[in-house]
Structure 1
Amino acid sequence: MNAMENLEKQLICPICLEIFTKPVVILPCQHNLCRKCANDVFQASNPYLPTRAGSLTSGGRFRCPSCRHEVILDRHGVYGLQRNLLVENIIDMFKQESSSSKPVPQNKEETPMCEVHEEEKINIYCVTHGVPTCSMCKVFGAHKDCEVAPITSIYQTKKTELSDGIAMMVSNNDRMQGIISHLEETCRAIEENSRRQKTQVCEKFDHLYTVLEGKKSEMMQKVTAEQDEKVNYIRGLTRKYGDHLEESCKVVEAGIQTMEEPEVALFLQNMKPLLKKISEASSTAHLDKVERGYENMEHFCVDFRKETKALRSIDFIQEADEDEEDEEEDKEAGAEEAEGAQTGSGSGAVTAASVQPPPPQQQSAPPVQP
């Protein structure tokens, strides 16, 4: 036994730690390896060499796992190493010797005994109660009035029945596994479709935000344009009234100086042109006027109640309605382009004065008194 154990130790592969598997290859350093193990070591040392049918066939190198000696292979790779037929024969002899020296286990079939009649073997089957029993129970015992059958025939029947049940359960398990796989795939599809739809919804809302921002900018520009126009006009009119006031002050100063003139002839001589200047300075007919309410900007009013209601009613639509939605969007875009300089949304909820205030020169209200 000790000799067999020592021999077995010599036949152990240093890679898989099992008895060498044929074919056994001998390395240049005289150490042995299973060809499969040698191929594994070669692949690990040369991961980038081309393969064919899962095996490396081109030249390369690796180190012996026993002595670390470098093994250089030719273009045949591991298949170019020589087989160690002597070791293979020794392995065959060792396996034969090991199998012959082991005792052959004897199959001892223990026949169950009857619980009531302990010396009787169970050899019949009670069909009425569905339990195995012995002959004594059929003759004298609890099963004397029952229908019985040979246990071997019932054995074959029940074995077939059990086999059919197992096959049915295996088939059912396969079906259940298929259902589980389908459900998992459906779950993944739902998650992917949800991500895609969320992205589309975000894009739709971003587009809506862009449209609203553009409309807001357009309306603000219109208000700003009218603001600039009115402010510039009022500032110009202010400068005209300021110039007229300055001329009037000069006439007043000239009148005061004339009133202080002691010479009667000189006073009367300056009176006529001075009175003419006073008459001209007192008249503001040549100055424009600002009509009442000119400063109001209330004609730029907005009413988003309809739009707010529409936004609150935003919801998902059926796929069949997508074409109709596209047509409506095209119509709305055309209506917005046709609006021109008017202020308003596509639904008409935003209103503005369609006619701008007339130019200040054409206004006929009474002039503002200085």
Structure 2
Amino acid sequence: MSVVSRRSSILVPIKNIERELICPICKELFTHPLILPCQHSVCHKCVKELLLLNHEDSFSTDAGSESSLPGSPRSRVPSPSMERLDRLVRSGSISVPGWRRGSVTPRITTFPCPGCEHDIDLGERGISMLFRNFTLESIVERYRQAARAAVAIMCNMCKPPVQEATKSCMDCKASYCNECFKLFHPWGTPKAQHEYVGPTTNFRPKVLMCPEHEMEKVNMYCEVCRRPVCHLCKLGGSHANHKVTSMSSAYKILKEKLSKSIHYLISKEDQVRTQISELEVLINQTADNGALAERQANEHFERLFGILQEKKADMLRCIEQSKTRRLEGLRGQVDEYQGMLENSGLVGYAQEVLKETDQSCFVQTAKQLHIRIQKATESLRTFHPAADPTFDEFALMFPKRRAC
């Protein structure tokens, strides 16, 4: 029995994973997401908006008025990555092959990833070299269906009045009620062998195809580039000298790693709560001791006010800065560990990825997700408060007064 099935009682509802399904550019649910070389996903339309900036937006100094108009690409996507891209284009540090001054649509193939800000170079083939993230697309569709559970998917073939669909054909890419399905898929015909599922609007291809060799199925995994490849890529393509493994082996290894990481993250929930409680106690102690240190400093400097007034102000400032820094550190830890409790979205997303049965689709999604979950678990292994609640270094020492 798998780790996830053993923990089925704590599966995260799909409605809790929305923040994992938001495109970092348009801030909306992914639409036809593409996987960038850095393993982050971006909507197809958003990548096109980054790559197909027109001449007026990118190179004219008079483009300010147009970019502010409603409906323009910039007004729809007011993201830092877009602004950074504009700066790179204007400065000349971004590669714009095939563009010459005066051309209307410069073909940009290098742009900053909105997720990690690393420069992405798509080469001459541009978007066509990117895999479509079918696993993420399916999870988004499941989320949409969960969000609109009260809204039925209607039959695409009914004459009015239209009936509610009961199944969808993945080959015809259409939804049918029972009567229409029997009518359009009669027994004894090739259509009777079509694959059908429950009502859906997500008609993804049955297999993952290589974007470089469009007619070839991917059946291997390149360990150097961390992406699925076909046999032609290995024989004479860009992955000829790379180490590759079978898709089934990569699927098994990544699924096991992802399952173990999810199990670890879930199993540490009580530990996270305990550590948050400890941090809250430390915050109270730090605040109280900081206030006490301020009062003591005031008492000492009142006695020496005439000659040490300047030093008094310096020390109070240091205490305040130290208290602020420590409280910020400790509160930041609380936020960090609170975020672990809120990792239900990440965990739920990972659990949805584990439902992917297509090995190619799973492998292309699971690697980056496994890295994210590993980072989420690192701070659980070694717990150290960010600050010491004591302020002993600010205590003033006075020599004993001699008898008269």
Q: Same fold (TM over 0.5)?
A: no
Bigger RCO (CA 8 Å, 6+ sep): 2
The normalised TM-score by structure 1 is: 0.23
The normalised TM-score by structure 2 is: 0.21
> Which is greater in Rg?
1
